Amino acid sequence: MGQLVDGTWQQGPLASGSKGAFERPATRFRDTPTAIAAGRYHLYVSTACPWAHRTLITRALRGLIDAVSVTVVSPKMGDTGWEFRAEDPDPIGGATFLHQVYTRAQPDYTGRVTVPVLWDRETNSIVNNESRDVMRILDVDFAPVAVNPLFATLAPPDLVTQIDNTLDAIYQPINNGVYKAGFATSQEAYDTAVRELFAALGHWNAVLGKQRYLCGDQLTEADIALFTTLVRFDLVYYSHFKCNVKRIADHAHLQRFLKELHAMPAIAATCDLDGIKTHYYWSQPNVNPSRIVPLGPTLDLSVT
């Protein structure tokens, strides 16, 4: 763990906010691409990260695998932050660490060095590093360079307001809620996060008992955003982040939804279950000081 301060990497744990509650810093690069062209933009991701995973799924479902290249960093995020792997080096600037990509974009950058990163080869800079924006950019702005997309859009105009409201509704209690539970440093902050998390899971479980997807019968960005948290839940969040009131497998409709999305080969191909486990248990010694990665559980995501 660490961050950049005036362009220099500084090691250190995440500071917690008042009363032991985890506070996620705001994202810094929030632009939209200037001119879309196949081969111009690049994604830096970790397959372990739920936020980056959203962008990988969007890229796959929208037929952008050829148009937008990807580099996957090592799941082990240590004192120097995200690091490139020998088998998948940085194709643009030959960086060793992701923080060097950030300082290449902005030499005096101050802030966290996070994935995903959408990089522009023409301007030699970061366009955007907020997963929610990048999902929308890939879905809408990149439509002209999509080839054989599996879905025409994941943000249909008539559903955009509902999708945005749903993304908002699941963000704090669920997507970020698991982190608030896991990174809490007081009992009170943990209790609050876990209660909110399971109330929200119960709510959306009931919704999915009545309809196929979060916004009705069409798969949207909101489903992708929920999926990337759900697929990590029984594997990691249940034990590592102490979100152990119930499993996703104990929520019939959430489990049906999780399995249904995972059954799409394009989505399954983006799911790196071993990398996910390694990342969380190894990279967060504040939560797991021994860095031991557990052998179980074995997830059954097969559709019966």
Ligand X SMILES: N[C@@H](CCC(=O)N[C@@H](CS)C(=O)NCC(=O)O)C(=O)O
Is 179 an active-site residue?
Answer: yes
Which pair of tokens denotes residue 214? 């979060």
What does the per-residue mask of binding to ligand X show for 51-90, with x meaning CB under 6 A? x-----------------------------x---------
41 binds ligand X (CB under 6 A): no
Cβ nearer to ligand X, comparing 49 with 60: 49
Residues 255, 248: contact at Cβ < 8 Å? yes
CB of 78 to ligand X, least distance (A): 11
CA–CA separation, 221 and 136 (whole Å): 8
Is 44 catalytic? The answer is: no
Which of these ranges, 68-76, 108-116, 192-200, 231-239, lies near ligand X under the rule CB under 6 A? Answer: 108-116
Go through 115-154 and write b for each residue having 16 or more CB atoms within 10 A of its CB, e for each that does not: bbbbbbeeeeebbbbbbbbbbbbbbebbeebbeebebebb
Place of tokens 């509902």: 162
Query: What's the rounded Cα separation, in Å, for the pair 182 and 243?
Result: 8
Bridge partners of residue 4, in order along the sequence: 9, 111
Sole binder of ligand X in the list 58, 74, 131, 153 (CB under 6 A): 131
Q: Residues 188 to 217: which contact ligand X by CB under 6 A? A: none
| Torsions phi, psi for 93 (to 5 deg) | -120, 5
Q: Which of 41, 49, 102, 213 is catalytic?
A: 49
Residue 133: CB minimum distance to ligand X, A: 8
Question: Residue from 60, 68, 70, 115 that binds ligand X (CB under 6 A)?
Answer: 115
User: Does the protein bind ligand X through residue 128 (CB under 6 A)?
Assistant: no
Question: Omega of the bond prior to 25 within 30 degrees of 0, cis?
Answer: no
| Cβ at position 40, least distance to ligand X in Å | 21
Considering only 47, 100, 103, 114, the residue that binds ligand X (CB under 6 A) is 114
Q: How far is CA 156 from each of CA 135, 161, 219, 261, rounded to the nearest angstrom?
A: 13, 10, 10, 19
The footprint of ligand X on this chain (CB under 6 A) covers a number of residues equal to: 14
**121, 104 in Cβ contact below 8 A?**
no
Is residue 234 part of the contact set for ligand X (CB under 6 A)? no
Q: Cβ closer to ligand X: 11 or 211?
A: 11
User: Which residues are identified as catalytic?
Assistant: 49, 179
